[in-house]
């Protein structure tokens, strides 16, 4: 039997999750009528212990640089650069000086808490090379903020996002030869945080490791867009009110593979996550979902996506599409809505000739156009002509976002030039 540690307050444990989460939860139990859809644990930053200090970075260069693969042979997430960035944290000392070292295995005791209780969260972001050869990140502060939210929720430490972005910039600069020059290529970055305390006791880890690895990737659609078909999953849910679906925890991903495999076994590329009796449309695979329809009452063109109610991931691409749509589509008469919508609403729009297009949105592909959705033994057509692989809004969003990512729109505030 596992010994459950009593809930106690450890003053040196800077990430005051235990106390704040406990008090927040008990408050939500008292207010039963207003259910907390997602708890936000407190961050540890600013509580007096050592935060990340980029000036203390040490760098050990590899003595065996890897050979670059021809760009066309790159497979997502299979090949990694020469180095990695690592930072250790302890409850008593805070963040220890960052290190860039040759890419290497981790050595962890089999009792390390990450292996038993899933103390793990991560991010997915990219570095791009612009026409002048500058390295750029896209809205890195959003990834850092999301990683802090994820880590605080599982009692891992938080950190200064701007300092971490600076370190990531130094790491990417060191390995910049791995970013192919051509448009569509990038360096996928995987910041990862794990609890490293060696214990089978269930409690807040007193030590953690934050590391970043990098994998060069090619264009998601090397030969142009390919629209996907989806199976609406009505027998399993990805997330639920009060759960952790809005956090990027490794534990959210493994349970999604079986529904994905089942959809694939029936010939669909991805599964579409529905929620509740109403069958609200939430996310597609590991992307947020957008639909463009003509509004039933007003006939106005409406770009729709599910709201941030705690059951969907707060996608950086989702936020960027909403921002661009409000700035550039609303003046053209579009309505941009973050609201709940059901699978039936999409099917009705398709049946009544009001469906314009549907697409997924995420860092990997920017947008992923959808041709059809299998739902209740029927196929809901998503507005693409037979010969078309993408609708105009998906195409426009990809062009706008890539224009910012690759620095074509110079000086855009979402593009972070690494110096
Ligand atoms: C479940 C889920 N939803 C949405 C997204 C899209 O998020 P982003 O645009 O930040 O890549 C991701 C990818 O990280 C995801 O894993």
Number of domains in the chain: 3
Contact 304 CB / ligand 1 (< 6 Å): no
Which residues pair with residue 293 across a beta bridge?
A: 302, 355
CA 385–ligand 1 middle distance (angstroms): 27
Q: Using the atom order of ligand 1, give the atom closest to the CA of residue 317.
A: 9
Q: Over the stretch 154-207, which tens digit does the pLDDT of each residue have?
A: 999 999 999 999 999 999 999 999 998 888 999 999 999 999 999 999 999 999
In a domain, 50, yes or no: yes
CA 363–ligand 1 middle distance (angstroms): 7
**264 and 402 share a domain?**
yes
pLDDT at position 198: 97
Closest CA to ligand 1's atom 2: 286
**172 and 113 share a domain?**
yes
Q: Average pLDDT for residues 236-242, to the nearest whole number?
A: 96
pLDDT at position 47: 53
Buried b (16+ CB within 10 A) or exposed e, 169-189: bebbebbbebbbeeeebbbbb
CATH number of the domain that residue 342 is part of: 3.20.10.10
- Give the domain range for residue 356: 228-415
pTM of structure: 0.90
pLDDT at position 196: 98
**134 and 264 share a domain?**
no
Average pLDDT, the chain: 90
Q: Over the stretch 304-356, which tens digit does the pLDDT of each residue have?
A: 999 999 999 999 999 999 999 999 999 999 999 999 999 999 999 999 999 99
Q: Over the stretch 74-119, which tens digit does the pLDDT of each residue have?
A: 888 999 999 999 999 999 999 999 999 999 999 999 999 999 999 9
CA 244–ligand 1 middle distance (angstroms): 14
């Amino acid at each position: 039997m596992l010994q459950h540690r009593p809930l106690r307050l450890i003053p040196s444990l800077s990430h005051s999750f235990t106390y704040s989460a406990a008090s927040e939860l008990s408050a939500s139990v008292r207010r039963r009528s207003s259910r907390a859809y997602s708890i936000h644990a407190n961050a540890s930053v600013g509580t007096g212990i050592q935060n990340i200090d980029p000036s203390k970075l040490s760098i050990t260069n590899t003595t065996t640089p890897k050979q670059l693969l021809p760009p066309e042979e790159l497979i997502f997430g299979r090949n990694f650069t020469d180095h990695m960035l690592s930072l250790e944290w302890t409850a008593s000392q805070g963040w220890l000086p960052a290190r860039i070292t040759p890419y290497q295995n981790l050595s962890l005791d089999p009792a390390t808490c990450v292996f038993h209780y899933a103390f793990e969260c991560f991010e997915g972001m990219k570095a791009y090379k612009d026409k002048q050869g500058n390295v750029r990140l896209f809205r890195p502060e959003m990834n850092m903020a999301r990683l802090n939210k994820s880590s605080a929720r599982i009692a891992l430490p938080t950190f200064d996002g701007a300092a971490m972005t600076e370190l990531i910039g130094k790491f990417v600069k060191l390995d910049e030869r791995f970013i192919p020059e051509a448009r569509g290529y990038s360096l996928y970055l995987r910041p990862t945080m794990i609890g490293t305390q060696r214990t089978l006791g269930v409690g807040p880890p007193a030590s953690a490791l934050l590391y970043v690895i990098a994998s060069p990737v090619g264009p998601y659609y090397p030969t142009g867009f390919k629209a996907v078909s989806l199976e609406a999953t009505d027998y399993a849910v990805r997330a639920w009110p009060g759960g952790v679906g809005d956090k990027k925890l490794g534990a959210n991903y493994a349970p999604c593979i079986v529904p994905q495999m089942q959809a694939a076994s029936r010939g669909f590329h991805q599964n579409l996550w529905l929620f509740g009796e109403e069958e609200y449309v939430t996310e597609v695979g590991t992307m947020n979902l957008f639909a463009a329809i003509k509004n039933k009452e007003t006939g106005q063109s409406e770009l729709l996506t599910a709201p941030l109610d705690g059951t969907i991931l707060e996608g950086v691409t989702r936020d960027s599409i909403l921002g661009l749509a409000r700035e550039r589509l609303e003046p053209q008469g579009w309505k941009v809505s973050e609201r709940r919508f059901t699978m039936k609403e999409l099917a009705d729009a398709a049946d009544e000739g009001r469906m314009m297009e549907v697409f997924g949105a995420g860092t990997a592909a920017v947008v992923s156009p959808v041709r059809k959705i299998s739902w209740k033994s029927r196929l809901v057509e998503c507005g693409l002509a037979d010969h078309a692989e993408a609708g105009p809004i998906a195409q426009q969003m990809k062009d706008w976002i890539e224009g910012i990512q690759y620095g074509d729109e110079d000086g855009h505030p979402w593009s972070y030039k690494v110096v």
